[in-house]
Chain A
Amino acid sequence: DTAVSQTPKYLVTQMGNDKSIKCEQNLGHDTMYWYKQDSKKFLKIMFSYNNKELIINETVPNRFSPKSPDKAHLNLHINSLELGDSAVYFCASSQAQRTYEQYFGPGTRLTVT
């Protein structure tokens, strides 16, 4: 079974649309994350979330919002997509006591046209 899964793997959409990327982990972890990796391969944290606290990278536009229906899921909603949102988005999870060891999902390649 896949530890951290994301859907879809590829997402092509037009500017101005609203889209969601789903993430699920079956590791029993209590902290989940969203990262963005751009064309230059920089991996940047967007959000980290456990059942007590949401930490937002202040550089993330408020068009991006994480939604967690339960501990095993952290979905990413993006409103009014822009060309610059094109990137690979990775979901990750970790145990609170071992946040240094994060398990990443396979990534979602988002292309905005």
Chain B
Amino acid sequence: GQNIDQPTEMTATEGAIVQINCTYQTSGFNGLFWYQQHAGEAPTFLSYNVLDGLEEKGRFSSFLSRSKGYSYLLLKELQMKDSASYLCAVRSYNYGQNFVFGPGTRLSVLP
């Protein structure tokens, strides 16, 4: 089976940097993904890691360590609009290439 863990909630201040961690256990690993979901809206794609290392995309970066089953999403220069849930998802060859999503981390950005 697959198991994905994330903190349930986090709070940060506007302009700060926040790191959202994700740990996973899976066999046949084929990629880790981060999605953002604002309340009452659909998830939107943020980033994708399949090899170890850091992927940077503007204010957002995502890191992966396959040996440790660990990823994080780094958000810089936080803005109020970054208040949302952040979903970590893992894809596996053993799961028909489909995603398994983690429980999500609800981030609140305070002024």
Contacts and interface: CB of A to CB of B under 8 A. Distances in A.
Interface of A: 33, 40-45, 48, 55, 57, 90, 99-107
A57 B97 CA distance: 11
Contacts of A48: 96-98
B38 to A, nearest CB: 12
B48 interface: yes
Interface residues of B, number: 19
Main secondary structure of the interface of A (DSSP, over half): loop
Contacts of B101: 42-45
A45 B85 contact: no
A40 B103 contact: yes
Contacts of A103: 45
Contacts of B85: 41
A55 to B, nearest CB: 4
A56 B85 CA distance: 26
